[in-house]
Structure 1
Amino acid sequence: MTRIIYLNGEWLAEPEAKVSVFDRGFLMADAIYEVTCVLDGKLVDYAGHAARLQRSAKELGLTLPLSEEALLAAHREIVARNQMDQGMIYLQLTRGVADRDFAYPPADTPPTLVMFTQSKNVLQNAAAERGIKVVLLPDLRWGRRDIKTVQLLYPSMAKMEAKARGADDAWLTEDGFVTEASAASSHIVSAEGVLITRDLSHALLPGITRASVLDLAAAQGISVEERPFTPAEALAAREAFITSATNFVVPVVEIDGQSIADGKPGPLTQELRRLYIDTRRAAAI
C-alpha cells in the first residue's frame, strides 16, 4: 500500500509528496524532527515527544504551524490513513523555502512540516532478545545535541563504523565519558545495582524513553544516579542497555569486544523493557 504523507496541511500519496530543492532543511540541515511510536494504533509517550518538539523549535526559532490540538489530530489521522497498528511516525519541521543564504530568511517565511509513517513490528525485536554489541567512538557531533535536529551524518558514520567492526552500534565518548549511542540513550547498572545514566545537558538529547524508564526504575525502588560514567565503568557494570522510541529498552552485552558480565541480557534490563511496554501500551492515546 502506498503511504499517505502529511505535507504542509495536505494529505498526499507518497509519490506526490514533494519538497523544494530550496528548502532549508535540504540546503542547510535547518530543521528538527521527532519520532513517536505507535502500538495498537495508538501513540506511545506522545506528550513527551510533543513537548520536546516544541522545545527544539523554540531553541532554533522555528514556528510550528499547528496548534497542540491540531498536531495531535494530525498524528492520529496519519495512523488512521495508513492503517498502522505498529510502527513509527516521523515528523520533520524546517525553516521553509528560501534562496540559499547562511542568514535566516524573513521571520514570516512559511515553515515546511512533513509527517510520514514506517510500519514495523516494534514488539518483536531480535536485538532485545540477544542484546547488542557496541564499539566506542569519539563524539564529533555539534555542541547542541540537546536539540533534535536532522544533522544526522556523524551518527550515521558512527553506525557504519560500528558495523564495519562487527558491532551493532556505537557508544560515543567525549572528555573520557560516554555521552550516548548513535541514536539512543546509554545506561549501565553498577555492581551494586545502581542504574547510572548521563545527566542532561547540551551534550546529549533528553530522551523521552529515557525519562520514562528512569521513572519506572525509581517506582520499583531502584537507585538511580544521573551523572557521567566512563567506558571503564561500563565494562565493569553488571548490565548495560540503551533506550529509544524506536527500540524501547535493548540490552548491551559487549563493548569493544569485551563482554558485559556474562555477555547475556541482564534481568533488570529485561524487566525494565517489560515494564516500559506494559505501562506505555496501557497509557497510549
Structure 2
Amino acid sequence: MTTAAPSPVAPAPADSSGNWVDRYAPAALRPFLRLARADRPIGSWLLLIPCWWSLALALRVQAESGVAAYGQAAVWAALFTLGAVAMRGAGCTWNDILDRDIDGKVERTRSRPLPAGQVTLTGAVLFLALQCLVGLVVLLCLPGFAIAVALSSLGLVAVYPLMKRVMWIPQLVLGLAFSWGALMGFAVLLEALPPAALLFYAGAVLWVVGYDTIYAHQDREDDAIVGVKSSALLFAGQTRKWLVGLYGAAVVLIGLALASAGAGPTAWGGLGIFTVQLVTQIRRLDIDDRALCLRLFRSNRDAGLILLAGLLADALLA
C-alpha cells in the first residue's frame, strides 16, 4: 500500500492571516510564494532599507562635490527593490532547503511548504534557481565595481543557514549578509567605498543582530529542544542589556557615518527619531511574549523608513 504524495496546492497553514498571497495568488503558486516569504514582506523591507539608506547618503556625498545624480539614484533604487525581493526570496528558499528537517520539529516553522509537503525538494531547487536568475539580471545592470561588491556577499548568504549549528550568535552572520546593501548605494553612485560606507555598514550589521535577536526569542524553547544555537538562547534574560549595547553601538556608528558624509540637520533628526524607536523596543521587550517580540521586530521597518526619510530629505536639500 502506498501513500499519495502531498498536494502542491495544499491549504494555507493554520496561522495564515489573510495576506495577499492567500487572497489573490493562484492556488498553484501559493506554496512557492510562501517559500519565498512573499506573504511576509517584512524581510524584504529590512533587506532593502539599508540599500536605500546608502543611496541617500551617497547622494549627500555627491552633493558636497556639487554633482548629485538624483535621476540615476532613482533607477538604482528601483533595481535594488527588484533585487532585494528576489534575493530575499532566494535566501529564504535556500534556508528552507537546508533546514527542512529542523523546521518540521519547530512549532512556528512546521507549516512551511517543504516540511508540510506542499513543495517537493526538486520544486524548491528549481524555484531557487529562478529567483537567482532574476537576481543575476539585476546584478548585470550594475557598474563593474558594484558587481564585484555584490558578488562578495554571496559566501555569507550561502553559509548563514548553517551557522546556527556551529555558533551561538548566527545573527552576526545574518547581519553581515543582510546589511550588504549599506555598501551598495556607494558602490553604484560613487564606485568606491569611502569611510562613511564602512561605518554605515558596521552600524547596520549591529542593528540587524539586535532586531533578529528579538525575533529569535519566538523560537527560543524549540531551538533548545532541537539543539540549534541563537543569540536569544545565549543572551536569555540579559537580552535587554545586550540590546542596549548593540543598538547603542549601531546608532554611534551610523552617526559617525553621517558625520563623515557631511550630513545636515534633517539626517541627524532622522537618526534621532530612529534612536527613540530603538529605545522604545528595548523598554517594551518581554522575551516571553512571542506576539510582542514579533511586533517589536516588525517595527524596525518603520524605524528604518524614518531614518531613510531624514537621509533623503538631507540629500535633496543639499
Fold shared, TM-score > 0.5 on shorter chain: no
Considering Cα pairs closer than 8 Å and 6+ residues apart, tell me whether 1 or 2 has the greater RCO. Answer: 2
TM-score, normalised by the number of residues in structure 1: 0.29
TM-score, normalised by the number of residues in structure 2: 0.27
Higher helix share: 2
